[in-house]
Chain A
């Protein structure tokens, strides 16, 4: 009995020490120097791993943020400023406030505005369709309606409106990750400033055709008439290749351009009252298909 006890102790101790010696070498070889802040940062990240920040995932972002000298180039579009504040607090950096962004669809070629010229019968994919031809309407710039943007959105923020055949962005869900922007073969979706109290004005068309051609293809097309450019008191609008573009940094939301646009190509969203239209003609916009209006928390 005593022998058993002694042997027990001897064997275990010797084995333990041999093992320890070996493990000691190992441990010396790879010391894991992990910055504990990486875990902390990762913990405050949204965890969507969407890649919207340009890194492989939230952890990769956290590592990059910890390593970087400041946070200028690291911004999580999904978490937005609140998350970045937290990250900054952990790391002791300043964050530049970024204006919240949202995806907008710059096409107003609803079924009514844009008469169909043919039917597409291939794989329901904008990419495939775009590679084949310009689409089933006369407009060769507009939305193809197969919803590539819808399927890439990880946040369920885009859906196809069956009435208009156009995608609709739910601005409460959109995190401005930009996945849809990349997915659209037509370059229709743009990330824009969300705007004060979610008020925005933008040109919902990218048709570069000459006015007459554009108009024939779509009632709501921007025809490049330049009225808005002349009207805008803040020099926010430029006209290139027959389309107007409103620079959101300069736009003061006066909506004068909306009033003069003869085709209703300029959209104003979330404004409480519609603007008085100057042109006699009924605007082509039947319903505002671009954004779901939401109650905003100031």
Chain B
């Protein structure tokens, strides 16, 4: 059962959606989705690391003995994360500040190491890139979605564009709203996904 490249890329949207279906990487999902733009940035940052580390790992995998693959992968992933940190600090310092702790934490995001172990390990560079792209896009999409919902409900705006006067329901931009939105979106998502099947 091999998937086409397109399938690899799109499976993360619904079938293997890392947020709603696999329930992975919950911390950044909850913490950084105070607005659509923040969620999207976090998603893209993860996507960046995911694609590059997937590619690098699939490239070196044949030469890394089994016994040390975990430390080797950790080193590789951490490298890309640090590179990302440098780039963000240099070119998008404001966003770097906003996302804060959660950028270095991409290292321990289960999705990244998980994909390395489960997929990149055994596939070609191209396939791994597609896989990383797919899962990363799925992650980005769901973070953006969650960020949008929270932003709309919490402040009455999307992507910073305000469409109501006055405040929104503030709880949604705070911790309780993060959990609440994710919980209900997860139900909704799974219902829709089931219907589509």
Q: How many residues of A contact B (CB 8 A)?
A: 9
Q: A12–B67 Cα gap in the complex (Å)?
A: 19
- Interfacial chain A residues near B68, Cβ < 8 Å: 20, 23-24, 27
- Interfacial chain B residues near A5, Cβ < 8 Å: none
Which one of B1, B67, B71 lies within 8 Å of A19 (CB-CB)? B71
- Interfacial chain B residues near A28, Cβ < 8 Å: 67
Q: A27–B65 Cα gap in the complex (Å)?
A: 11
- Interfacial chain B residues near A27, Cβ < 8 Å: 66-68
Q: A12–B75 Cα gap in the complex (Å)?
A: 8
- Interfacial chain B residues near A12, Cβ < 8 Å: 75
- Interfacial chain A residues near B75, Cβ < 8 Å: 12, 16
Q: How many residues of B contact A (CB 8 A)?
A: 9
Closest residue of chain B to A17 (Cβ to Cβ) is: B71
Q: A12–B68 Cα gap in the complex (Å)?
A: 15
- Interfacial chain B residues near A24, Cβ < 8 Å: 67-68
Closest chain A CB from B111 CB (angstroms)? 21
Q: A20–B66 Cα gap in the complex (Å)?
A: 11
Q: A45–B70 Cα gap in the complex (Å)?
A: 31
Closest chain A CB from B166 CB (angstroms)? 50
- For the complex, would chain A's binding face be called helix, strand, loop or mixed by DSSP majority? helix
Residues 44 to 93 of chain B near chain A (Cβ within 8 Å):
66-68, 70-72, 74-75
- Interfacial chain A residues near B71, Cβ < 8 Å: 16, 19-20, 23
Q: What are the interface flags for A136-154 relative to B under an 8 Å C-beta threshold, 1 for contact and 0 otherwise?
A: 0000000000000000000
Residues 1 to 44 of chain B near chain A (Cβ within 8 Å):
1
Residues 209 to 260 of chain A near chain B (Cβ within 8 Å):
none
Closest residue of chain A to B78 (Cβ to Cβ) is: A12
Q: A28–B74 Cα gap in the complex (Å)?
A: 19
Closest chain B CB from A14 CB (angstroms)? 12
- Interfacial chain B residues near A23, Cβ < 8 Å: 67-68, 70-71
- Interfacial chain B residues near A43, Cβ < 8 Å: 1
Closest residue of chain B to A15 (Cβ to Cβ) is: B75
Q: A16–B71 Cα gap in the complex (Å)?
A: 7
Closest residue of chain A to B70 (Cβ to Cβ) is: A23
- Interfacial chain A residues near B67, Cβ < 8 Å: 23-24, 27-28
Closest chain B CB from A12 CB (angstroms)? 7
Closest residue of chain A to B75 (Cβ to Cβ) is: A16
Closest chain A CB from B46 CB (angstroms)? 22
Q: A12–B70 Cα gap in the complex (Å)?
A: 15
Q: A143–B71 Cα gap in the complex (Å)?
A: 64
Q: A16–B69 Cα gap in the complex (Å)?
A: 11
List residues of A whose CB falls within 8 A of some B CB: 12, 16, 19-20, 23-24, 27-28, 43
Name 18 extra pairs, CB < 8 A, besides A23-B71, A27-B66.
Answer: A12-B75, A16-B71, A16-B72, A16-B75, A19-B71, A19-B74, A20-B68, A20-B71, A20-B72, A23-B67, A23-B68, A23-B70, A24-B67, A24-B68, A27-B67, A27-B68, A28-B67, A43-B1
List residues of B whose CB falls within 8 A of some A CB: 1, 66-68, 70-72, 74-75
| Interface CB pairs A-B, < 8 A, 20 | A12-B75, A16-B71, A16-B72, A16-B75, A19-B71, A19-B74, A20-B68, A20-B71, A20-B72, A23-B67, A23-B68, A23-B70, A23-B71, A24-B67, A24-B68, A27-B66, A27-B67, A27-B68, A28-B67, A43-B1
